[in-house]
Structure 1
Amino acid sequence: MLEFRTEGYNGYAVKYSPFFDSRLAVAASSNFGLVGNGRFYILELTPNGIVPIKWFTTQDALYDLAWSEIHENQALVSSGDGSIKLFDATVDEFPIQGWKEHTREVFSVHWNLIAKDKFCSSSWDGTVKIWSPARQQSLLTLPTQTCTYSAAFSPHSPDILSCVSSDSYVRVFDLRTPTSASNHLTVQIPIHGAGMGAGKPGFPPASGAVPPSEALTHDWNKYRPTVLATAGVDRTIRTFDIRAPNQGPLCAMIGHEYAIRKVTWSPHLSHVLLSASYDMTCRVWSDGSETGALATDTDFMRSGPGAAPTMGRELGRMGRHTEFVTGVDWCLFGSEGWCASCGWDEKLCVWDVRAVMG
């Protein structure tokens, strides 16, 4: 395991470069992101360990980052002052571009993996915005009317994006649909719907609903275009199929002791997820789809609303962090298993998932 200390700054997000197998970046904030500066690190994995090749200090906290899909040296960061900044590793000191339309903290940014001239952001101001690096104003604003923690484009379609919010809903927007009164909203899934998981361990009896709680993170499956995973304050990871928004979750993964701050699907294996939590652990999970434990598409579509989900299983955990773990990401290159995590302990860890799997 390799470690790097973001001294004086508490990590919020880490991302591997999509262009270089040895480069990653960390967005961090002083004073746990409550007040003070932010710092954006661009780091290199070398035979001598993790070496910083550039860092930028910002006037406000940084909560997320996204590498550009069109320029290998550029990356976005989202800030507590409502701004988004684009930095270039070859340019000293200042961002090469900036945007500010959000009126509250920008908690996520995500670059479109297919239409690479666009990216999106989500904010506590109750909106998701779509941007182009070539324009100073946003291209489109999608209202959610609630604090929105995470937004992401589908890796399978340039026009579909999703978000999760404090009201415990997954929203899916299709930009090909008419704006009308729905503002491109095509699917709205209640994460904590009545009867979802009833009778399963960790869930309430069949007569009641799971109490709604804030959804903090989500991610699209890289191999199954209609499947996404959500997680948040209730410590449970759930997977959903957007083709059947009223059927409830496909799978539930229970085990974290505190809120889950980040969840991400493996880029190599369709059934494997990685999560980071306030319980100071990162955990590896399987949703059971590789063994057939998960219902087939036909079985799922036939099942009634509120059907109990399949229970996923924990494959292993990493407990080297000593504070909240807030960011985790898979390496796209090489054998499946290498990942990076960061947290409020001012520590970046690069490690192999296979080393912690039982």
Structure 2
Amino acid sequence: MMEFRTQGYNGYAVKYSPFFDSRICVAASANFGLVGNGRIYVLGLTPNGIQAEKWFNTQDSVYDVAWSERHENQLVVASGDGSVKLFDINVNDYPVQSWKEHNREVYAVHWNLVSKDTFASSSWDGTIKIWSPERQNSILTLPTHSCTYSTAFSPHSPSIISSVSSDSHLRIFDLRTPASASNHLVALIPIHGPAPLMGGPANSLRPNTPPSEALTHDWNKYRSTVVATAGVDQIIRTFDTRNPKGGPVAMLRGHEYAVRKLAWSPHLSDVLLSASYDMTCRVWSDGTSMSQPNAHPGIAGNGSQLGRMDRHTEFCTGVDWCLFGSEGWCASVAWDERLLVWDVRSQISPQMRS
């Protein structure tokens, strides 16, 4: 396990470079992101440990970061002052571009993984905005009408974008549809709708559970209609967007406090990572891998926790997988001012490996 200290700055997000397996970016903020400035670290994994290659200071807190998918030296940052900033590693001190259209804190940014020419931001002001690095103004604004903590382009389509927000809904937008009154909204999925009975068929439902804020979500990298969500109620849920009224397909329980970040594996279709305010990062299977003897994709309740990493000593806020090399390497950040790089496989119990 490798470690880097973000001295004086509490981690909020971590992202591996899509171009280099040895480069990581961390978004961190002073005073736990409540007041003060932020810092973006560009870090290199070397034989001598993790080294800071570059850092940028910001006047306000920073909550998320996304690498450009077409320029190896550029990254976009979500800021507490409502701005979105683009930095270039080869340019000292200042962002090469800055946009300020959001009226509240920007809490998430995500680059288009397919077309690679746009990125999205979401804000506490109840909007998602889509941007191009070449334009001075946003391309499109998608209203969510509630504090939006997470937004993401589908890794399977350049036109599908999703979000989760404080009203406990997963929204799916298709930019190919006419805007009309729906503003490209094609699915509004209640996260805390009818829940499947554990171990029973997906249509065996319990009464509605009370809604709570959804803080994070991620698209499955191999199954184009599967999305995982999580938030304040500690439960990770997976949904199939082909059946928006069918409720969650799987529910993964184990975290003791809110789940702050989810990331599906880029190597395995059934594995995902989570980071939580209970100071742990955990690895899960959603139960759909046919290599598991009792796995049935159409039946809820087969998901399970495979392992946990509890080396952080404060709220865990970010986690990301390395895209390159052997499966299992990841990075995590927390409010304990530490970045940890570790092998997920080392945290999986021997019983679960068989």
Aligned to 2:87: 87
The question of whether the paired residues in 2 share the 8 Å contact of 1:278 and 1:326 is answered with yes
How far 1:293 sits from its partner (Å)? Answer: 4.8
Residue equivalent to 1:281 = 280
Q: What's the CA shift for 1:70?
A: 1.0
Task: Give the equivalent residue in structure 2 for 1:303.
Answer: none
2:242 matched to which residue of 1? Answer: 243
How far apart in 2 are the matches of 1:125 and 1:258? 25
Tell me which residue corresponds to 2:163.
163
Where does 1:187-226 land on structure 2 (aligned, <5 Å)? 187-194=187-194, 196-198=195-197, 208-226=207-225
TM-score using structure 1 length: 0.94
Query: Match of 1:345?
Result: 336
1:135 aligns with 2:126: no
Determine helix, strand or coil for the equivalent of 1:133.
coil
| CA distance in 1: counterparts of 2:341 and 2:238, whole angstroms | 26
- Identify the residue that residue 263 of structure 1 maps to in structure 2: 262
How many angstroms does 1:310 deviate by?
2.1
SS in 1 for 2:209: coil
Whether the aligned pair in 2 keeps the contact of 1:285 and 1:315 (CA below 8 Å) is yes
Q: Tell me the distance in 2 between the aligned counterparts of 1:294 and 1:183.
A: 38
Letter in 2 for 1:325: C
Q: How does 1:321-332 map to 2 (within 5 A)?
A: 321-332=312-323
2:326 partner SS: coil
- Give CA-to-partner distance per residue, 1:241-275, whole Å, 9 cap, x none: 00000001111100000000000000000000000
Between the two proteins, what is the percent identity of the paired residues?
69
Which deviations, in whole Å up to 9, do the C-alpha atoms of 1:6-61 show, x marking residues without a partner? Answer: 00000000000000010000000000000000000000000000000000110000
Quote the offset at 1:199 in angstroms: 6.5
Q: Please say if residues 168 and 214 of structure 1, whose CA atoms lie closer than 8 Å, have aligned partners that are also in contact.
A: yes
Q: Which residue of 2 aligns with 1:23?
A: 23
Q: Cα deviations across residues 189-224 of structure 1 (Å, max 9, x unaligned)?
A: 000013x135779xxx96632110000000000000
Q: Tell me by how many angstroms 1:179 deviates.
A: 0.4
Q: Deviations over 1:118-140 (max 9, x none)?
A: 00000000000100000010000
Q: 1:68 to 1:207 in 2, by over 3 A?
A: closer
Contact 1:199 1:206 in 2 (8 A): no
Indicate if the aligned counterparts of 1:293 and 1:310 stay in contact, CA closer than 8 A: no
- Cα distance in 1, alignment partners of residues 294 and 110 from structure 2: 32
Residues 89-117 of structure 1: per-residue CA shift (max 9 Å, x gap): 11111111111100000000000011111
Which runs of 5 or more residues in structure 2 are unaligned? Answer: 350-354
CA contact (8 A) 1:329 1:341 kept: yes
CA–CA separation in structure 2 for the residues paired with 1:279 and 1:26:
20
Question: CA 1:123–1:322 in structure 2 vs 1: closer, same or farther (change >3 Å)?
Answer: same
Provide the C-alpha distance between the structure 2 equivalents of 1:22 and 1:206, rounded to a whole number of angstroms.
46
Q: 1:309 offset after TM fit, Å?
A: 2.9
What is the identity, as a one-letter code, of the residue corresponding to 1:254? R
Kept in 1, the 8 Å contact 2:226–2:238? The answer is yes
Q: 8 Å contact 1:294–1:310 — kept in the other structure? A: no
1:9-158 to 2 correspondence within 5 Å?
9-158=9-158
Q: 1:127 to 1:314 in 2, by over 3 A?
A: same
1:350 maps to a residue whose letter is V
- Give aligned pairs, total: 344
Return the letter of the residue paired with 1:210: T
Q: Deviations over 1:46-89 (max 9, x none)?
A: 00000000001100000000000111011011000000111111
Q: Tell me whether 326-335 or 208-217 shows the greater mean CA deviation.
A: 208-217
Aligned to 2:352: none
Q: Distance in 1 between matches of 2:345 and 2:10?
A: 27
Instruction: Compute the TM-score of the two structures, normalised by the length of structure 2.
Output: 0.95
For residues 37 and 238 of structure 1, what CA distance do their matches in structure 2 show? 34
Q: Are 1:38 and 1:62, in contact at CA under 8 Å, matched by a contact in 2?
A: yes
Q: Distance in 2 between matches of 1:207 and 1:14?
A: 36
The one-letter code of the counterpart of 2:286 is D
| Counterpart AA for 1:323 | E
The ranges of structure 1 where at least 4 consecutive aligned residues each deviate by more than 4 angstroms after the TM superposition are: 198-201, 292-296
CA distance in 1, matches of 2:144, 2:34: 24
| Structure 2: distance between partners of 1:217 and 1:169 | 11
The 3-state SS of whatever aligns with 2:91 is: coil
Unpaired runs of 5+ residues, structure 1, are 301-307
- Local SS of the residue matching 2:31: helix
Partner of 1:157, secondary structure, is: coil
Counterpart Cα distance in 1 of 2:283 and 2:52: 28
